[in-house]
Structure 1
């Protein structure tokens, strides 16, 4: 099952909303992020649910579900009146998203194991998978149905697309996409400031983290453009945030970054090849 690599119109066919709605989303995101990190997480609001469900419904999932309700359902779909399909939520693409997420997980595991073997490290099974399966599954659920899903809907499905639709003065498509990526993902990185303050980052660590978030956000947006499937991006985003490696390896995070970069490059090559083929047919 190959993702759609040709053309970009598929994700930019929705309506252009008022810039006040875009500003409203940014303000709502700031309020939500500060409330969750500095109030709910600080006071352990969701700890009871976490204990009751034995880790399957952790604080990340609880906060993500709350965000989906407030930001995605109430604000974007009800107030701004954007249909789910215009936010990248098309059920007919869910199966492909699941399949590509699984293949991506296999690739990350294979690459991390290869790095470990090349470095001469001993391979041991990830004991957390067997000893604490409920917590490991809970971490993944917290991303797939919480944090990662909310961020992809907000920053790739809505903000990136809307900024692209407003950059009407930029005629060249590639330049318009790049500018929309850069602007939207800088906002994406800025929205993580409350979380990073809560986590204790400061100084140059804060700067490096900001630049990393911008680059990652742009890669996620690029993959969304090339595949037209937001569920693929949600899956990749989730696997980046949660280590689901079968083997204990210090290379899992690096392997995930490399796999994301390789996937983006391969999709770009496929799209370039398809466009070249289309031009050859037209000239013929």
Structure 2
């Protein structure tokens, strides 16, 4: 494999390495942040006046995660940690392709919903919420795109996954090093969701199954980031997993998005192999 291919594949790791103290610090701060927001702010409805004043265009998720982005990303990672936005995966030139990729993914889901309805003789109805309550629909979507998904992708994929990889220098085998950094960072990603799950009312064994689900989701999101090298695309996919503003009212939208989400890594692998095969054929 030539140097260019190696550089392209490992592009996300070509960033400034930070200290283990900052890594531990951001994990600790994020635990405090999620605990306070879920078990105090959300539980007691402290964001209610903001939601009411802005008529739902800004919801509690966006308001809370705006604070998280300001404190965790801007103050701790960028100002104190002296990392640039590019060190966190935020690259302006990737924005358009990330947006278009997310839009394509969303359109494919809607097309699949239409085809399923046609094949099963289910009558589809247009999602009137888009027209009648655009503030609630787009407010919820914005809460993910510019709030929850944005913060979590920067912290757990853009920062933690990459920095743990850079930290594991004693692991010489590249694939093992990448796998180790993915598993460790996404294990932390799952644990940090516990305060939210307490707020959501999970009980008993539900925590175990939810934990496994979060680890799997985190691993897939990490692979998508590794394969596409586009954190904006991962933010978009993450947002659609959490909230599905579909064109049609359907009970299948969430499960269909999850199926397409699970299939996406295999599509990316096939695209990568096809590209490598094409390049090797060209050089023959």
TM-score relative to the length of structure 2: 0.93
Aligned to 2:64: 63
Q: Distance in 2 between matches of 1:186 and 1:113?
A: 37
Deviation of 1:277 (Å): 4.7
Post-superposition CA distance 1:91-131 (Å, at most 9, x none): 11111111111101101112233334444433112222122
Q: Distance in 2 between matches of 1:64 and 1:117?
A: 40
Aligned to 1:47: 48
Q: Distance in 2 between matches of 1:104 and 1:129?
A: 19
Matched position secondary structure for 1:145: helix
Q: What does 1:75-94 align with in structure 2 at a 5 Å threshold?
A: 75-94=76-95
Deviation of 1:281 (Å): 6.3
Aligned to 1:264: 265
Q: How many pairs align?
A: 280
Aligned to 1:16: 17
Aligned to 2:187: 186
Bigger RCO of structures 1 and 2 (CA < 8 A, at least 6 apart): 1
Deviation of 1:273 (Å): 3.1
Aligned to 1:27: 28
Q: Distance in 2 between matches of 1:116 and 1:174?
A: 42
Deviation of 1:59 (Å): 0.6
Q: Distance in 2 between matches of 1:217 and 1:166?
A: 19
Aligned to 2:225: 224
Post-superposition CA distance 1:191-217 (Å, at most 9, x none): 000000011001222111111111111
Change (3 A) 1:131 1:281: closer
Q: Distance in 2 between matches of 1:168 and 1:120?
A: 57
Stretch deviating more after TM superposition (47-56 or 263-272): 263-272
Q: Is the 8 A contact 1:116 1:251 kept in 2?
A: no
Q: What does 1:204-243 align with in structure 2 at a 5 Å threshold?
A: 204-243=205-244
Specify every segment of 5 or more residues in structure 2 that has no aligned partner in the other structure, as ranges: none
Q: Distance in 1 between matches of 2:78 and 2:169?
A: 24
Aligned to 1:72: 73
Deviation of 1:280 (Å): 5.8
Q: 1:163 and 2:169 equivalent? A: no
Change (3 A) 1:35 1:175: same
Q: Distance in 2 between matches of 1:131 and 1:277?
A: 49
Q: What does 1:139-158 align with in structure 2 at a 5 Å threshold?
A: 139-158=140-159
Q: Distance in 2 between matches of 1:153 and 1:63?
A: 16
Post-superposition CA distance 1:252-271 (Å, at most 9, x none): 11111122222211111222
Matched position secondary structure for 1:203: coil
Q: Distance in 2 between matches of 1:269 and 1:207?
A: 32
Q: Distance in 1 between matches of 2:262 and 2:270?
A: 12
Question: CA-atom RMSD, angstroms?
Answer: 1.9
Deviation of 1:189 (Å): 0.5
Q: Distance in 2 between matches of 1:130 and 1:279?
A: 50
Deviation of 1:174 (Å): 2.2
